[in-house]
Amino acid sequence: MEKIWAPWRMQYILADKKDGCIFCDKVQEGEDRKNYILFRDRLGFIIMNIFPYNNGHLMIAPYRHAASLEDLTSEELLQIMTLTKKSLSCLQQAMKAEGYNIGMNIGAVAGAGIADHLHLHIVPRWSGDTNFMPVLADTKVLPQHLDTTYDLLKPLFR
C-alpha cells in the first residue's frame, strides 16, 4: 500500500476550533473576497480551501447545515453536482490541471474536519505536484498565493 503524507496539514488540525460552522458563518458574513467565496447559487456555494492540498483546492457546500448526503434534498444534491461541474470547467480554464481529486469525508472518523456540514472537495493535480519537501522538510510549497488564485478564478465563475 502506498502512503501519501501531508504533514503541512497539521497547522489546520492543531488550530483552535471556533464555535459555530465555518460554512454557515462565512457565507452569512457577505464578505466573499475576504472569505474566498467564488460563487453563490440558490442552494449552495463554492469556496476556496484556505489550507489547500494544492493551488485551486475548492470546496462546495449546501447553504443548509446538513451532515450527510442522506440529509440533503434531491434538489440540493443536484446543485452540489452542478457546482462541481462548473468548478471543474473554471479550474481547467484557469489552471490547466492534468487531473482532479474529488471527494467527501462524511463523519469525523472518515476524516471530515467539519463533520456537521457536508462539503465536497476538488483538488487540482499535476504530474509531479508532490516532491520531497513535505516528507523531508515538513513543508508544502504552494506556488501561488490564495489571493492570486482567487483573482484568477473569480471572473470565470461569473
What tens-digit pLDDT sequence spans the chain (158 residues)?
555 556 656 666 677 767 789 999 999 999 999 999 999 999 999 999 988 888 899 999 999 999 999 999 999 999 999 999 999 999 999 999 999 999 999 998 988 888 899 999 999 998 877 654 454 445 555 667 888 889 989 999 98
Residue 1 counted as domain residue:
no
Cell of 27: 457565507
Per the structure, how many domains does the chain have? 1
Residue 139 counted as domain residue:
yes
- Alpha-carbon distance of 13 to 126, in angstroms, equals 25
- Alpha-carbon distance of 111 to 105, in angstroms, equals 6
Residue 46 counted as domain residue:
yes
- Alpha-carbon distance of 58 to 56, in angstroms, equals 6
Tell me how far apart the 2 most distant CA atoms of the chain are, in Å. Answer: 46
Mode of pairing for the β-strands spanning 44-48 and 37-40: antiparallel
Residue 87 counted as domain residue:
yes
- Alpha-carbon distance of 18 to 31, in angstroms, equals 19
CATH of the domain at 50: 3.30.428.10
Q: Which residues constitute the domain of residue 126?
A: 7-157
Pick from 38, 63, 65, 64: which is nearest to 49 by CA? 38
pTM of the model: 0.81
Residue 61 counted as domain residue:
yes
List active site positions: 119
Residue 2 counted as domain residue:
no
CB 80 within 8 A of CB 71: no
Residue 146 counted as domain residue:
yes
Residue 144 counted as domain residue:
yes
